[in-house]
Chain A
Amino acid sequence: MRRRAALFYPQLALTLVLCAFLIVPVALSIAAGVTVNFQQGLKSGLTLRWVAQVWDLYSETIYLSLQIALTCLAATLVLGVPLAYVLARQRGWLARLIEELLVVPLAVPGLAIALGLLLSYGEFKAFRTSWLFILVGHVLFTLPFMVRAVLAVLMSIDLKTLEEGAASLGASFGRRFFSVVLPNCRSGILAGALMVATLSIGEFNLTWMLHTPLTKTLPVGLADSYASMRLEIGSAYTLVFFVMIVPLLIALQILSRPLRRRARPAAATAEAAS
């Protein structure tokens, strides 16, 4: 066996402490969500009572979050993929300006954007009180991720040659877009879609300001349960949230592995979110 450097073990210890710092509370909260009495520990027995109670109290928030996440995904696909294509085709100053502008909603805190939305559209009561108001905030916040993910892939392929080839064979614009461009940026669309869904399901900063008592999303419900319910219910609710979001996060991790080196700047902006 190769001898480890003298500093190997102290460094390993620090890394393990960091890892424990991140994972221990996750594990504790999962455990608390299925324990009869967290204060007494696991010996008080395991139960699904808290999860059932969460379902009774908060199932609507879960449905609404899924509804908003899926609609938001559809909206970012319809708006974002064509925009990414335009930005990939036009590399002038205007395209670069739009690209820069598009990232500004990520740099401005969600709270500020929500205030702006409330001050601009607050008086349109029907809009203000519907779930569409929350959807608008989510689309704004997730659109840059879709555009950047698709744009990164489009920039890495020879779009021009592909399109010219198809055009020379007589393919119309619509045909080229749907059967040449879109299939070629599949991986970017998938990465963008996972990111959009993950961010929308977890979005709180904007949503808290935009929601009404009748339009509560999952994270809004979480904040409510943390503040007013016993620890076990908050934990069970968090467990439900993890079950929804962790598969998305793992899929993102797997998907981003080969992309990581290529799309560094995009990833750096992506990490600025939440």
Chain B
Amino acid sequence: MGPARRDRARLFLLAVPAFAVFAAFFLLPLAQLVAVAGQGPEGAATYLAVLTNPRYLHSLIATILLSAAVSLATLALCGVAGVFLERNRFFGRPLLVALLTLPLSFPGVVIGFMVIMLAGRQGVIGELTTALFGTRTVFAYSMAGLFVGYLYFSIPRVILTVMAAAEKLDPRLEEAARSLGAPAWRVARDVIVPALMPAFISSGAIAFATAMGAFGTAFTLATNIDVLPMTIYTEFTLNANFATAASLSLVLGAITWIALALARSAAGATVAAAG
């Protein structure tokens, strides 16, 4: 055996354990999902259950709308704050950046609890409205609470990407626009936002995909919130409807995968544009 062939054999052997684990515990289960989804009461039509059953369709649309709303709100807020933090140097700025990115890896359940702390029955928002208006505002255990929770975990992710992109903006373009008499909102609309667009698309798609697939936050807030992950959970554990749960999981997985593929191609475009 020549040295080159021996080297290749060695590399192959090094990759085998990881690949075996991956095949046994990811590829096989995924294939199993596809197989089980096709064995539903309606046979192959179960794959389309999300479209043919009004309840699932409603749940899918609600999840997509919620995730899209969260992504847009996060982009708007982090667009302003991210550019601001990148452009200005002031006392306490590093602390602000550190605090804004700290919750990056909080799990969904903990974020659900943070929403309860804010807007739950004993939450600070309820305390404030009781003191100010005499009525207690509680919205944690609903779609609004879920919106707040998803906003909470999207902000750290999006703000990091926006700051990295804002760093590469050319201030001369803005100066040129300003010297030509453009007001601040026109500079933002015509110069800053287009330049940040790849970062917005990539981080927005990540926020969207995360919100689509998140389960822990909804689970902590209320099990009856009508979003797709909760529907899948209910079908699987309470109704033992494995085929439908598998088919809905595949739909959910496909949507998040497409969103993330979009994010990655947009991130690639940023790299190319900067390069």
Q: Which residues of A are in contact with B by a Cβ distance under 8 Å? A: 6-8, 11-12, 14-16, 18-19, 21-26, 28-29, 32, 38-39, 78-80, 82-83, 85-87, 89-90, 98, 101-102, 104-113, 115-117, 119-121, 136-137, 139-140, 143, 147, 173, 198-199, 202-205, 208-209, 219, 222-223, 226-227, 231, 234, 238, 241, 245-246, 249, 252-253, 260-261, 264-265, 267-269, 271-274
How many angstroms between the C-alpha atoms of A78 and B20 in the bound complex?
Answer: 13
Quick check: is B133 within 8 A (CB to CB) of the other chain? Answer: no
Subset of 17 A-B contacts with CB under 8 Å? A18-B77, A18-B81, A18-B155, A22-B155, A22-B156, A24-B117, A25-B117, A79-B21, A82-B14, A109-B256, A143-B22, A199-B105, A219-B109, A223-B216, A246-B102, A249-B102, A265-B271
Contact A226 B109 (CB under 8 A): yes
**Judging by beta carbons under 8 Å apart, are A119 and B118 in contact?**
no
**Could you tell me if B253 and A222 are in contact, using CB atoms closer than 8 angstroms?**
no
Taking a contact as CB atoms under 8 Å apart, the answer to whether A222 and B26 are in contact is no
Q: Is the interface of A mostly helix, strand, loop or mixed?
A: helix
Q: Are B253 and A112 in contact (CB under 8 A)?
A: yes
Contact partner of A264 (CB less than 8 A), chosen from B22, B101, B156, B267, is B267
Known: A83-B14, A205-B216. A23 touches B260 (CB 8 A): no
| B219-272, CB < 8 A from A | 219-220, 229, 232-233, 236, 242, 245-246, 249-250, 252-253, 256-257, 260-261, 263-264, 267-268, 270-271
Residues of chain A with a CB closer than 8 A to B270's CB: 264
CA distance A104 to B30 in the complex (A): 11
B182 CB within 8 Å of chain A: no
Question: Contacting chain A: which of B40-48, B49-57, B204-212?
Answer: B204-212
Residues B96 and A107 in contact, CB atoms below 8 Å apart: no
Closest to B206 in A: A272
Contact residue among B113, B152, B213 (Cβ-Cβ distance under 8 Å from A111): B213
Q: By the criterion CB–CB under 8 Å, are A14 and B81 in contact?
A: yes
Interface presence of B116 (CB below 8 A) = yes
The one of B29, B85, B219, B260 that contacts A113, using a Cβ cutoff of 8 Å: B29
> Does any Cβ of A come within 8 Å of B36's Cβ?
yes
Bound form: Cα–Cα A138–B99 in Å: 27
Please list the residues of chain B having a beta carbon within 8 angstroms of any beta carbon in chain A.
7, 10-12, 14-15, 17-19, 21-22, 25-26, 28-30, 32-33, 36, 77-78, 80-81, 84-85, 88, 90, 96, 98-110, 112-118, 122, 124, 151-153, 155-157, 159-161, 164, 184, 202-203, 206, 209-210, 212-216, 219-220, 229, 232-233, 236, 242, 245-246, 249-250, 252-253, 256-257, 260-261, 263-264, 267-268, 270-271
- Beyond A136-B21, A273-B105: 9 further Cβ-contacts under 8 Å? A18-B77, A21-B151, A22-B152, A25-B115, A112-B232, A119-B242, A120-B28, A202-B105, A246-B102
B271 and A264 contact, CB distance less than 8 A: yes
Closest to A38 in B: B122
In the complex, A140→B219 CA distance in Å? 23
Minimum C-beta distance from A151 to chain B (A): 12
Q: B112 — which chain A residues lie within 8 A by C-beta?
A: 226
Determine if B29 and A111 form an interchain contact, defined as CB atoms under 8 angstroms apart. no
Is B104 touching A202 in the complex (CB atoms < 8 A)?
no
Residues B36 and A119 in contact, CB atoms below 8 Å apart:
yes
Residues of B near A219 (CB, < 8 A) are 107, 109-110, 216
Which residues on B sit within 8 Å (CB–CB) of A29? 113-114, 117
**Residues of B close to A271: CB separation below 8 A:** 104, 157, 160-161, 203, 206
Inter-chain contact B113/A238, CB cutoff 8 Å: yes
Q: In the complex, A110→B229 CA distance in Å?
A: 10
CB contacts (< 8 Å) of B98 on chain A: these are 253
Find the B residue at minimum CB distance from A227. B220
